[in-house]
């Protein structure tokens, strides 16, 4: 049994016209010591998936079906109060846009202390020692505890957020685009740090990203989402070098080439409006391999060569 298990998870948003499926029938496991990266364009449902695992889907969204379990315990059945206790203590959340998620008028040390006061029974001296310990864990100097968020670089702020998240000693970390807005070198440093922390502390990390190369380099498994569905899942490096689903293949091809953004090969077409997902395979209007069956019937996720893939090209 994996630490985090999502089974047949469905999340919908109610609009005046329809129920819009943002996450549709997702099965996903994340085990202790494992880093799983969820990749997709904006609107693929990856952030909603993380929020659902935290039971923080904003209204008018709601989890309509499926199960979420942590260490075998059902999270959907927990009271809001118990869930609030669990978030922060057992499940840490690392949001994107670090500046917005820190209190600008509190020092880093005070914010880590606040997290410890909320989620642990440590006394004053133990708390001070833990603040120093977690700053060291994220490779920040002890004096950073006395700094305010605006006095830190983007990379340092994101490390401070990670320190706050890890301070109560969680089992699972959910990270939403943890490297967005940072330059390439700082992204690599942060991913290396997260990878080391998972390995050393025996954490489980589920992160979402639009950056397939980073996921391929630092994650154990990659999950590709499109229109709220998992379309491919497999060992992370292989999703970059040997993708099976045409969308995963297009994502891998849309990477910046040697000369940067100008050479970026974009995926033609648009992510579908989730209230009007195409009949059949949701990717069919953008897929260069689409054939009649693709416009009639949605492909099921099947196991092919160590990957799970939902594409009629690979069925039978």
Contacts with ligand SF4, residue ranges (CB under 6 A): 245-246, 281, 283-284, 287, 289-290, 294, 299, 311-313
DSSP symbol at 262: G
Minimum distance from residue 292 beta carbon to ligand SF4 (Å): 10
Q: How far is the CB of 221 from ligand SF4 (least distance, A)?
A: 20
Tell me the closest approach of the beta carbon of residue 8 to ligand SF4, in angstroms.
21
User: Distance between alpha carbon 256 and the CA centroid of its chain, in Å?
Assistant: 22
Q: Tell me how far, at minimum, the Cβ of 316 lies from ligand SF4, in Å.
A: 13
Residue 282 DSSP label: T
Interstrand relation of 73-74 and 229-235 (parallel, antiparallel or unpaired) = unpaired
The span from the CA of 190 to the CA of 201, in Å, is 16
Q: Which is nearer to ligand SF4, 108 or 281 (CB)?
A: 281
**Is the distance from CB of 256 to CB of 246 less than 8 angstroms?**
no
Kind of pairing between the strands at 172-176 and 204-209: parallel
Q: 274 or 294: whose CB is closer to ligand SF4?
A: 294
Question: Are residues 95 and 157 in contact, defined by beta-carbon separation less than 8 angstroms?
Answer: no
Query: Which lies closer to ligand SF4 via its Cβ, residue 159 or residue 245?
Result: 245
Nearer to ligand SF4, 118 or 302 (CB): 302
Q: How far is the CB of 110 from ligand SF4 (least distance, A)?
A: 50
Whose Cβ is closer to ligand SF4: residue 93's or residue 283's? 283
CB of 179 to ligand SF4, least distance (A): 28
Q: Which residues pair with 4 in a beta bridge?
A: 30, 70
Point out which residues pair with 93 in neighbouring strands. 174
Instruction: Tell me how far apart the alpha carbons of residues 180 and 232 are, in angstroms, rounded to a whole number.
Output: 23
Asked whether the beta carbons of 232 and 238 are under 8 A apart, the reply is no
Only one residue has tokens 């490096």, namely 237
Residue with smaller CB distance to ligand SF4, 154 or 285:
285
């Amino acid at each position: 049994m994996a630490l985090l298990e999502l089974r047949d998870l469905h999340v919908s948003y109610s609009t005046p016209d329809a129920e819009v499926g943002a996450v549709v029938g997702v099965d996903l496991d994340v085990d202790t010591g494992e880093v799983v990266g969820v990749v997709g364009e904006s609107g693929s449902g990856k952030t909603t998936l993380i929020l659902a695992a935290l039971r923080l889907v904003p209204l008018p969204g709601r989890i309509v079906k499926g199960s979420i379990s942590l260490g075998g315990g059902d999270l959907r059945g927990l009271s809001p109060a118990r869930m609030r206790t669990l978030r922060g203590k057992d499940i840490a959340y690392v949001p994107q846009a670090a500046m917005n998620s820190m209190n600008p008028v509190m020092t880093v040390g005070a914010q880590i202390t606040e997290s410890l006061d909320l989620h642990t029974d440590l006394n004053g001296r133990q708390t001070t020692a833990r603040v120093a310990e977690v700053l060291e864990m994220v490779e920040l100097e002890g004096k950073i505890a006395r700094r305010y968020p605006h006095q830190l670089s983007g990379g340092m702020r994101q490390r401070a957020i990670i320190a706050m998240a890890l301070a109560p000693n969680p089992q699972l970390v959910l990270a939403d685009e943890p490297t967005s807005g940072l330059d390439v070198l700082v992204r690599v440093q942060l991913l290396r740090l997260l990878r080391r922390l998972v390995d050393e502390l025996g954490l489980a990390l589920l992160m979402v990203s639009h950056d397939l190369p980073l996921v391929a380099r630092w994650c154990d498994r990659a999950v590709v989402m499109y229109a709220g569905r998992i379309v491919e899942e497999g060992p992370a490096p292989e999703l970059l070098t040997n993708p099976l689903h045409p969308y995963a293949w297009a994502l891998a091809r849309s990477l910046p080439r040697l000369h940067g953004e100008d050479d970026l090969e974009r995926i033609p077409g648009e992510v579908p409006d989730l209230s009007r997902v195409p009949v059949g395979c949701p990717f069919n209007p953008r897929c260069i391999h689409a054939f009649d069956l693709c416009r009639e019937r949605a492909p099921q996720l099947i196991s092919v060569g160590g990957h799970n893939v939902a594409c009629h090209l690979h069925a039978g």
